[in-house]
Structure 1
Amino acid sequence: MHNKKPYPIYFFFTKNKKLSKESFYLEKIKNHSLMLLKITCFLKFILPFPLKYKFRVLNIKNKILFLETSNSAWMTRLKFESIKILFLLKSKILPSLSYIDIKINPDIEIKSIINNKINIYNLKNNKKNKIYNNKKITKKSIKSILYVSRNNKNNLSIVLKRIANIIKKNI
């Protein structure tokens, strides 16, 4: 039976004599992913507001930067900005970069919509909790709600009366 302990994760991403070949490949992957992350942050800093969230950096291969966007409208906007992107990336990060290739992937839009809905839902829940905890409705506001409900003959008056009764119970 072997008495070997598991290695910590940073062990694989640094140069080690024990894992020379494997650590070389893992270090190469680490450097490549850090480069992609750096390019993504730089592009989000450069690009105008709507474009910041409508693209994804896929890869760098053979001096070509591959970007991905959700539809052809965003692709044309990125193509319009590609000269500026190419110039700035050459001057700041990747001097060997020669071309930017932009591809369309509609799944990006679906993922961003789902993420936005989740974020909006979380914000609404947080706001509701803060409103109930921080703000109190006075008796004067209840009277004004009842006054508005008396003057209306629609369903609005029924809803306003219900709201006023709920508020009275909670005070």
Structure 2
Amino acid sequence: MRDSRPHLIDSLFSNPIETSQESLSKIQHQAIALVQLNHAVNMLLPEILRPWCRVANFRQGLMVLETANASWQMRLRYEEAKLLSTVRIQILPSLSSIDIRINPVLAKKQALHTQDDDSDRHCLCLLGGQSRHLSLRSAASIRHVAAQSEGKLKNVLERLAKLAEDSPEHMPSPKIEASPDL
């Protein structure tokens, strides 16, 4: 049965070896261990996978890795056997398997981390530093679909179509007039 009595604050910060209860220090030690494991595993991953993957947990010989989406999950699965053997040799001999899960929050965090202040208004940035600009023709098609849509979808499509207008390649260039003094 769960022990739901109030506890003294001192007992929460006590040494986890002395008490059998979950204490804050035990949680803190596990969090520190996960951060260190995440850093070590990150160094073993190919550079392209590093921003899209993190160690979520390690328990009973199972390391849980989180990745941003299914495509990164597939890439990570290709590396799984190599990663498992390397981690066993270098870091965790008790590791028996790796579980790879998708966590979409990683994609959002990475997108926020990599975007510049206003760059997302006019281009979609890719991994290689390339950018894609929305053409005026595509924007017109998106506006047509938005006109037939309702609510949230309509708002999102209109914002997407507006990216073409805000794009620097579609902005009119400033005219430079020659001064009559010359």
- Residues 125-147 of structure 1: CA distance to partner in whole angstroms, max 9, x if unpaired? xxxxxxxxxxxxxxxxxxxxxxx
Q: Which SS does the other structure have where 1:41 is aligned? A: helix
> After the TM superposition, which of the residue ranges 76-85 and 23-32 deviates more from structure 2?
23-32
What are the ranges of 5 or more consecutive residues in structure 1 without an aligned counterpart?
1-6, 123-154, 166-171
Structure 1 residue 28 and structure 2 residue 26: aligned? Answer: yes
Q: Which residue of the partner structure matches residue 67 of structure 2?
A: 69
Q: Report the Cα offset of residue 51 of structure 1.
A: 0.1
What letter matches 2:117 in structure 1? Y
Distance 1:93 1:25 in 2: 26
Kindly tell me the number of residue pairs found equivalent between the two proteins: 118
Distance 1:33 1:45 in 2: 19
Q: Which SS does the other structure have where 1:57 is aligned? A: strand
Structure 1 residue 92 and structure 2 residue 95: aligned? Answer: no
With the length of structure 2 as denominator, give the TM-score of the two structures. Answer: 0.54
Distance 1:12 1:110 in 2: 34
Q: Which residue of the partner structure matches residue 39 of structure 1?
A: 37
> After the TM superposition, which of the residue ranges 20-29 and 35-44 deviates more from structure 2?
20-29
Tell me, yes or no, if the aligned pair for 2:65 and 2:100 is still in contact at 8 Å. yes
Q: Which residue of the partner structure matches residue 135 of structure 2?
A: none
Q: Which residue of the partner structure matches residue 54 of structure 2?
A: 56
Q: Report the Cα offset of residue 79 of structure 1.
A: 1.0
What are the ranges of 5 or more consecutive residues in structure 2 without an aligned counterpart?
1-8, 119-171
Distance 1:28 1:65 in 2: 19
Tell me, yes or no, if the aligned pair for 2:13 and 2:24 is still in contact at 8 Å. yes
Distance 1:111 1:24 in 2: 30
**Which structure 2 residues correspond to residues 113-128 of structure 1 after superposition, within 5 A?**
113-117=111-115, 120-121=116-117
1:83 to 76, 81, 105: 81
- Residues 2-61 of structure 1: CA distance to partner in whole angstroms, max 9, x if unpaired? xxxxx99xx965649xxx538973332222112211111112211111100001211112
Distance 1:28 1:101 in 2: 24
- Residues 100-142 of structure 1: CA distance to partner in whole angstroms, max 9, x if unpaired? 000112222122112222xx229xxxxxxxxxxxxxxxxxxxx
Q: Which SS does the other structure have where 1:77 is aligned? A: helix
Q: Report which of the two structures shows the higher radius of gyration computed on alpha carbons.
A: 1
Structure 1 residue 107 and structure 2 residue 101: aligned? Answer: no
What letter matches 2:47 in structure 1? F
Percent sequence identity over aligned pairs: 30
CA RMSD of aligned residues (A): 3.3
